Chain A
């Protein structure tokens, strides 16, 4: 302790008013000069987070982004052309008849409004994704560093995100119950994980399983190769959106696109490890089913890939790192993928 050490003090509380307040006879608390220990022991350096925060995607910094320069300038040209064309169109309309001109203006206004709304929604979606990332970082800090303020901000942010959702109402109510208790930050995160995340994890798991199965099925039955690529891509994007939505993100088109990019980056980082982990299962799945029918084999492989993408998305969107519960693994979905006979009814 470097400053003045604070001496013990007592404050009487008047029994009459319900609200506790400081005493009328304040104990004298003279600041004393106390000998400072000569050796100030530095706090131990952190051993690094025990629960790894997600690695930020590493981009390669280039000197000049020629490609982006090209696209931006082309886009600017296109915007200019479009602006000119629309202005020309409206002017033309006014030349023909005033009424037509006003109608055109009105339609343009509606289009502009819609564009604005879409932009706002997209931005909000991106913002939400960013927020989930922030929460993840704070949560990792709360768990590993026992950081009280980080824990508090995680809790506040999560309550903001999940307020008003039916599937989280119960968990939020439970968390509110223990708000006043003295609980360590790491334990607080465990509570949140148990009360709030468990249900969402289940939802996300179901989404992944369903998508994986569907992708497997689509691959197996689609006659044209090009078509199945499109369908599979569409299914995957749909899954990404659904997972993000389950965890409180609301990605629009751009958000989904960004999420997809993050997922690819995430797979690139973690994919190697996961592959070696599950290689055997894959080989078995592929070998057995592949022997029965090459189409079904391809289906299984695609399904497994989809599940892997889904797991990566789950990693990215889940606001808390996995603390106590086991992280869902590919193996959890293998059975779902290869058993075509069982539909879950919800399609």
Chain B
């Protein structure tokens, strides 16, 4: 994003300086967990906290593996206006009797994890004595799609949404809204009833395409789907219009009203969301649910790429110099993670990483140029499966074993959510671009599994932690350097 306003930059600069000052005596890392909805943000945060709190086995996370972490605990988060991340509830859901994944996130929440460790450097020992705060924010993934709106005008946004919604498969869901759209005359006087109807139908359209879970890139504005208190307010009562290009909205017209409301939405909702929570991140992990997109088809993969490219374009990346970092805090490490890697045998993880690299190619290229350190990994914050080789008809299939969720099906096999099954999800393409060209349609099927069984009595003990894949590597990359 181009931060046009000097005001915004000043705000960030002051915030950064305040952070730098307080960071000397109580250093903290703002970890941005970025991901579209259903990418696994909540599970990632829960697993991360659980592993750190209970001393999970994280061999590649040096501070923990070397035994330098002395104590880890949750502290009241710094932002009093936000609810606390419902860590205990999520753990309860994961380890409870019916073991299920946490509900999708509907509101914003924050968590502060404090790690005490044996500091190595003299400076660390004398200033803060080896204490590190990690601030993490969880939020509905849909909201992330508001970020690209920050530097889009109403007209540009309208044109984008309309052209996207007129192409299949979205157009199938948009009939009703499009019919109503034809009746609207943007240049005529504003009528609240028209606006309400248009917003209502537009919201319906967004809801159906979210249900179809194929096309994340056009789900903005995110609050339309999770209105909360704002339901019915003018902020959420606008919709795209077919407006003539190169003209200005006549005063008092429907167009002008919609434009004003769009601007208010951007200024009152999208911008604060960004500045309060994303503008001053230190480290970022981008969770990408590649497998779900592959399940759906090549359009979904392409759309995922489009959405992520737009969203990641908004972040402030770059290697932080010692002095410049004082005024302009930037994300200096960014990890792209293909989540749910446990739905695949580890033989295929490299291919998964390649496909993800293709999806985030623009963003990672930009990050690299900006000087941020980047890494990519196939990751499973909670590993729900184990691996096996199944021999069938003289062929060895690398399979994963777990309990598929009730209702999942592969071929004619339907799962009841109780029986274990070995699943061979198909071979991922060697060449990542094949994921986009449709040659793999139907050749892959990733079933979702229930969370792994951890004996409830052991869940809170040191060795009862969730198994994971490369969570330790992710941690080492993201915060490993902070334990000096």
* Bound Cα distance from A7 to B434, whole angstroms: 16
Of all chain A residues, the one with the shortest Cβ separation from B410 is A10
Of all chain B residues, the one with the shortest Cβ separation from A36 is B439
B208 → chain A closest CB, angstroms: 28
Q: Is the CB of A15 within 8 A of B419?
A: yes
CB within 8 Å of A: which of B413-445?
413, 415, 419-427, 429-431, 433-434, 437, 439-440, 443-445
| 24 A/B residue pairs, CB under 8 Å, sorted by A | A1-B429, A5-B426, A5-B443, A6-B395, A6-B397, A7-B426, A7-B443, A8-B424, A8-B445, A9-B410, A10-B404, A10-B410, A10-B411, A11-B390, A20-B388, A26-B392, A26-B393, A178-B59, A183-B59, A183-B60, A183-B470, A191-B59, A194-B62, A194-B66
* Bound Cα distance from A26 to B419, whole angstroms: 16
Q: Is the CB of A182 within 8 A of B349?
A: yes
Q: Given the complex, which residues of B lie within 8 Å of A190, measured CB to CB?
A: 60
* Bound Cα distance from A7 to B410, whole angstroms: 10
Q: Is the CB of A41 within 8 A of B420?
A: no
Mask for A185-225, Cβ within 8 A of B = 1, else 0? 00100110010000000000000000000000000000000
* Bound Cα distance from A1 to B432, whole angstroms: 11
Q: Is the CB of B422 within 8 A of A13?
A: yes
> Is the CB of B401 closer than 8 A to any CB of chain A?
yes
Q: Given the complex, which residues of A lie within 8 Å of B437, measured CB to CB?
A: 37
Of all chain A residues, the one with the shortest Cβ separation from B425 is A8
Q: Given the complex, which residues of B lie within 8 Å of A37, measured CB to CB?
A: 431, 434, 437, 439
B375 → chain A closest CB, angstroms: 11
Q: Is the CB of B401 within 8 A of A10?
A: no
> Is the CB of A341 closer than 8 A to any CB of chain B?
no
Q: Is the CB of B419 within 8 A of A10?
A: no
Of all chain A residues, the one with the shortest Cβ separation from B439 is A37
> Is the CB of A22 closer than 8 A to any CB of chain B?
yes
Q: Given the complex, which residues of B lie within 8 Å of A13, measured CB to CB?
A: 401, 419-422
> Is the CB of A35 closer than 8 A to any CB of chain B?
yes
Q: Is the CB of A8 within 8 A of B399?
A: no
> Is the CB of A29 closer than 8 A to any CB of chain B?
yes
A16 → chain B closest CB, angstroms: 11
Mask for A149-168, Cβ within 8 A of B = 1, else 0? 00000000000000000000
Q: Is the CB of A182 within 8 A of B393?
A: no
Interface residues of B (CB under 8 A from A): 57, 59-60, 62, 65-66, 346, 349-350, 388, 390-393, 395, 397, 399, 401, 404, 410-413, 415, 419-427, 429-431, 433-434, 437, 439-440, 443-445, 447, 469-470, 473
Of A177, A182, A191, the residue contacting B470 (CB under 8 A) is: A182
8 closest residue pairs by CB, A with B: A8-B445, A11-B422, A8-B426, A10-B410, A13-B420, A178-B59, A9-B424, A10-B413
A181 → chain B closest CB, angstroms: 7
CB within 8 Å of B: which of A1-38?
1, 5-13, 15, 20, 22-23, 26-27, 29, 34-35, 37
* Bound Cα distance from A34 to B399, whole angstroms: 22
B474 → chain A closest CB, angstroms: 11
B411, B433, B469: which has the most chain A beta carbons within 10 Å? B411
Q: Is the CB of B427 within 8 A of A6?
A: yes
Known: A7-B443, A8-B443, A182-B349. A177 touches B401 (CB 8 A): no
Q: Is the CB of B439 within 8 A of A177?
A: no
* Bound Cα distance from A15 to B416, whole angstroms: 13
Q: Is the CB of B410 within 8 A of A1?
A: no
A318 → chain B closest CB, angstroms: 20
Q: Is the CB of A177 within 8 A of B59?
A: yes
Q: Is the CB of B443 within 8 A of A41?
A: no
Of A1, A20, A27, A35, the residue contacting B430 (CB under 8 A) is: A1
Q: In which size bucket is the chain A interface?
A: 20 to 34
A169 → chain B closest CB, angstroms: 17
Q: Given the complex, which residues of B lie within 8 Å of A20, measured CB to CB?
A: 388, 401, 420, 422
A197 → chain B closest CB, angstroms: 14
Known A13-B419, A27-B413, A182-B349; 14 more pairs at CB < 8 Å: A6-B426, A8-B426, A10-B410, A10-B423, A12-B413, A13-B401, A13-B422, A20-B401, A22-B422, A26-B393, A37-B437, A178-B57, A183-B60, A194-B62
Q: Is the CB of A11 within 8 A of B399?
A: yes
Q: Is the CB of B434 within 8 A of A29?
A: no
Q: Given the complex, which residues of A lie within 8 Å of B60, measured CB to CB?
A: 183, 187, 190-191
* Bound Cα distance from A29 to B427, whole angstroms: 13
> Is the CB of A146 closer than 8 A to any CB of chain B?
yes
Q: Given the complex, which residues of A lie within 8 Å of B447, measured CB to CB?
A: 10
Q: Given the complex, which residues of B lie within 8 Å of A174, measured CB to CB?
A: 59, 65
Of all chain B residues, the one with the shortest Cβ separation from A26 is B392
Q: Given the complex, which residues of A lie within 8 Å of B59, measured CB to CB?
A: 174, 177-178, 181, 183, 191
* Bound Cα distance from A29 to B189, whole angstroms: 63
Q: Given the complex, which residues of A lie within 8 Å of B419, measured CB to CB?
A: 12-13, 15
* Bound Cα distance from A34 to B441, whole angstroms: 11
Q: Given the complex, which residues of B lie within 8 Å of A178, measured CB to CB?
A: 57, 59
Known: A5-B443, A8-B445. A27 touches B390 (CB 8 A): no
A147 → chain B closest CB, angstroms: 11
Q: Is the CB of A5 within 8 A of B413?
A: no
Q: Given the complex, which residues of A lie within 8 Å of B399, measured CB to CB?
A: 11
Q: Given the complex, which residues of A lie within 8 Å of B429, measured CB to CB?
A: 1
B481 → chain A closest CB, angstroms: 12
Of all chain B residues, the one with the shortest Cβ separation from A324 is B62
* Bound Cα distance from A337 to B145, whole angstroms: 62
Q: Given the complex, which residues of A lie within 8 Å of B433, measured CB to CB?
A: 41
Q: Is the CB of B420 within 8 A of A8?
A: no
Q: Given the complex, which residues of B lie within 8 Å of A7, measured CB to CB?
A: 426, 443
* Bound Cα distance from A191 to B430, whole angstroms: 28
* Bound Cα distance from A8 to B447, whole angstroms: 10
B410, B422, B434: which has the most chain A beta carbons within 10 Å? B422
CB within 8 Å of B: which of A22-68?
22-23, 26-27, 29, 34-35, 37, 41
CB within 8 Å of B: which of A220-253?
none
Q: Given the complex, which residues of A lie within 8 Å of B445, measured CB to CB?
A: 8
Q: Given the complex, which residues of A lie within 8 Å of B66, measured CB to CB?
A: 194
